[in-house]
Structure 1
């Protein structure tokens, strides 16, 4: 694969008139042209986006209560969403939480086994490097044995610790929790209040959490905390071996995590929309305070690239710096040393983007292999990729 006379984004900046060569899935040569201070309209080659937390799969599997679709089909549909948004590596979040029977008669444990084992089988046919991010809810110790088994089989690539106990974290206000459950579960106030009382009565299982973290560390996996709200919570998470603070809900927590050398992650939709949908810490405010390292899709893959572009338009960060939030920094946080930037020796995970009023993904490449092609848009721009995959743009 050879790109020539191309605007290329590296971790150092934007360079027009550049060339890149890749062979056997890896970048073999990179020659940079003139450096630009601002992002022009037109075509630009950027690193493939790396998403450490995407909650889309469970909704893809069951978009309506009781309406569940086949797992292989769902994985392929999610893969299309990923590649069309420029995601080349994606950690799909799966909840290890309530193990009660569902409407189809299957427990969550049985569903998780189906999803994870199907993903292992489908990986060769997916465009994205799709990985398992296990969200362990510490109030549900019955989920621990299954997670431990999957860790033992090396079926999990990331672990995060969920503590959704009402009264702290994302739901510091109990009334907000009741209203959230009414909307999310589509239930009345009495049912939401019952769920609140059940959650408050559920003890946290810290011994089990220690065991899970020990196994994750033995497998050299990244461990994340979730919805940190205080300095004390961050300190506790660090003692458990956590290296990523996901979605800190307060500036205090984000600042504490950064001071302790942890990576901080927030949602790209938060950055794109200009604030948290639940009234917590704003991603832009965290960036302006210098306490935000990573952006994840959260629930909307397209937000990752769009947020980076918007941050550059608002003057919060230059475009090449904003891209680090979704490429280089996630790679470093997850220990993925073979990707995250465009330089010789790295995987040829790349995205060709057209910049106009909004960035539009034209093509996505994973290890040099074309996994997404926006043919209609490319035809309108007069772009072709020939049989030798040489692109002159």
Structure 2
């Protein structure tokens, strides 16, 4: 199948009017000019590699769109799968939390996260449109879940582990007063009640030695089983140095410039949210992804909580920064694929999976179609020849 007359974004350059041939689910040929006989004419639209998303929180809200309003797991996974395909995400790491009950109802409990993982593994081989992986987020103060995560690692059920510490006063919640206000607002309680909760968490973290043991134990088990480790919400160069020593290869959502710079210095990939990059600021007042990109220390964009941000964020960075489309598109394709050791995808290149995205720039970038391993898994019907599902 020939996809012809597209603006083809490669790793290091753009072919203004190129063509790509798909065969057996793989990229078989790339041409610098339109093909003489094409199955699909792009009429100058963008052709991008499929997006690799290392951190997407959306499954929790698909299952429980309102607090304690639960929907069946399979229905929720099917719906999320369609949304991901419709937003160009062809490899999705479902970020599942092991927090205990911390204001999210039961959706981030150890028991619930484990059931989601089991259901996802059962469905992903034959029933889902895109390639789903499992990203386990472990709160290092939640000792109860340590044995569960270690069991999942030994069973080969996890593809990525991130180590988190959401104790107020550091990381994402460095601004304690702001965090208290957020808790009060989200939980509809008084500031005094919220402050009491925060004090209890800080006291527990201060008095407990379990957190350090958990951090070292989970990291060791992940290393033993070849699972990539990420560190979450790094707020200082010192913390980055500690997690790098434990084997972390990714610093996701660094909250300060100093932490991001230290991560780059030590060889860790830095990952930040596409919503942050699109909006130009962090919703929690931390480091701006655009600022990190302008300083040359941003490697990866993740959907975080909003998959529709991936395409427009990459386009916005291409328009605002140096490197153009190849550099900004790499943030959502080649760079995460490299960091996650997925050597068969992440770029438009002969011999790689035909994970491809058709898009338009326009006033607002629009995603028109998505291929996952050569199969058309999404089309909005606007591109001639891409109106019905097709497997090549």
Q: 2:215 aligns with which of 206, 209, 216?
A: 209
Decide whether aligned partners of structure 1 residues 78 and 387 sit closer, same or farther in structure 2, where only a CA change above 3 A counts: closer
Decide whether aligned partners of structure 1 residues 30 and 167 sit closer, same or farther in structure 2, where only a CA change above 3 A counts: same
Residue aligning to 1:37: none
In structure 2, distance between residues paired with 1:42 and 1:21: 16
Q: Secondary structure at the match of 2:168?
A: coil
CA contact (8 A) 2:171 2:255 kept: yes
Give 1:199 shift: 1.2
Q: Secondary structure at the match of 1:302?
A: helix
Q: Secondary structure at the match of 1:125?
A: coil
Residue aligning to 1:325: 331
Report the count of equivalent residues: 380
Give 1:30 shift: 1.5
Is the counterpart of residue 20 in structure 1 residue 26 in structure 2?
no
Q: Secondary structure at the match of 2:307?
A: coil
After superposing the two structures, state which structure 1 stretch, 246-255 or 172-181, moved more.
172-181
Q: Secondary structure at the match of 1:370?
A: strand
Is the counterpart of residue 242 in structure 1 residue 248 in structure 2?
yes
CA contact (8 A) 2:379 2:387 kept: no
After superposing the two structures, state which structure 1 stretch, 246-255 or 349-358, moved more.
349-358
Decide whether aligned partners of structure 1 residues 235 and 388 sit closer, same or farther in structure 2, where only a CA change above 3 A counts: closer
Residue aligning to 1:84: 86
1:162-207 Cα offsets, whole Å, 9 max, x none, are: 1111111111121112112123333332332232122112235222
TM-score normalised over the length of structure 2: 0.91
1:116-173 Cα offsets, whole Å, 9 max, x none, are: 1111111121112111110000011111011111111111110000111111111112
In structure 1, distance between residues paired with 2:30 and 2:58: 35
In structure 1, distance between residues paired with 2:367 and 2:199: 46
TM-score normalised over the length of structure 1: 0.91
CA contact (8 A) 2:55 2:95 kept: yes
Give 1:386 shift: 8.3
Q: 1:163 aligns with which of 158, 162, 165?
A: 165
Residue aligning to 2:191: 189
Decide whether aligned partners of structure 1 residues 387 and 256 sit closer, same or farther in structure 2, where only a CA change above 3 A counts: closer
Which stretches of structure 1, 4 residues or longer, exceed 4 Å deviation after superposition? 99-104, 386-391
Q: Which runs of 5 or more residues in structure 2 are unaligned?
A: 35-41
Decide whether aligned partners of structure 1 residues 152 and 101 sit closer, same or farther in structure 2, where only a CA change above 3 A counts: farther
In structure 1, distance between residues paired with 2:389 and 2:102: 53
Decide whether aligned partners of structure 1 residues 327 and 306 sit closer, same or farther in structure 2, where only a CA change above 3 A counts: same
Q: Which runs of 5 or more residues in structure 1 are unaligned?
A: 35-39
Give 1:4 shift: 2.4
